[in-house]
């Protein structure tokens, strides 16, 4: 089974099983990683914002315009920011590393 690593807000690295077909958000929730996902992965918020390790960023499919619009609302946006609900695990992503931002911004209100 593929693995991925979350770098948590306190700097702790947590390597977890990452079943193919699940999103990074779903994988985080499965393993108790502190990613909110307020819209439950419906691409209506930015609370599952993750910062993808630069070496992995180019291996991901390009974000959709809708994802880019939601990313504009994310706290601490970087050049390798993505929404965890939009990154779906594949065998090619075995070893993926993402960092949780220092905070999240829930604009759903």
Cβ neighbors of 75 (< 8 A, separation 6 or more) are: 46, 49, 101, 102, 103, 104, 105
Q: Give the pLDDT confidence score for residue 102 in this predicted structure.
A: 84
pLDDT range class, residue 108, cuts 50, 70, 90: very low
User: Domains plus CATH for the chain?
Assistant: 3-99 (3.10.20.30)
pLDDT at position 75: 85
What's the pLDDT tens digit per position in 72-106? 989 889 999 999 999 999 999 999 999 999 876 55
As a whole number of angstroms, the distance between CA 88 and CA 86 comes to 6
Give pLDDT tens digits for 2-16. Answer: 999 999 999 999 999
Tens digits of per-residue pLDDT, 29-55?
999 999 999 999 999 999 999 999 999
Considering the entire predicted model, what is its pTM?
Answer: 0.92
How far apart (Å, rounded) are the C-alpha atoms in residues 79 and 40? 24
């Amino acid at each position: 089974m593929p693995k991925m690593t979350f770098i948590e807000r306190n700097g702790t690295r947590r390597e977890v099983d990452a079943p193919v077909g699940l999103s990074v958000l779903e994988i985080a929730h499965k393993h108790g990683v502190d990613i909110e996902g307020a819209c439950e992965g419906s691409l209506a918020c930015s609370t599952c914002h993750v910062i993808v390790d630069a070496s992995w960023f180019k291996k991901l499919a390009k974000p959709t315009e809708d994802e880019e619009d939601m990313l504009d609302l994310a706290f601490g946006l970087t050049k390798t920011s993505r929404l965890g609900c939009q990154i779906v695990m594949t065998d090619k992503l075995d070893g993926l590393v993402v960092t949780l931002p220092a905070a999240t911004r829930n604009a759903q209100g």
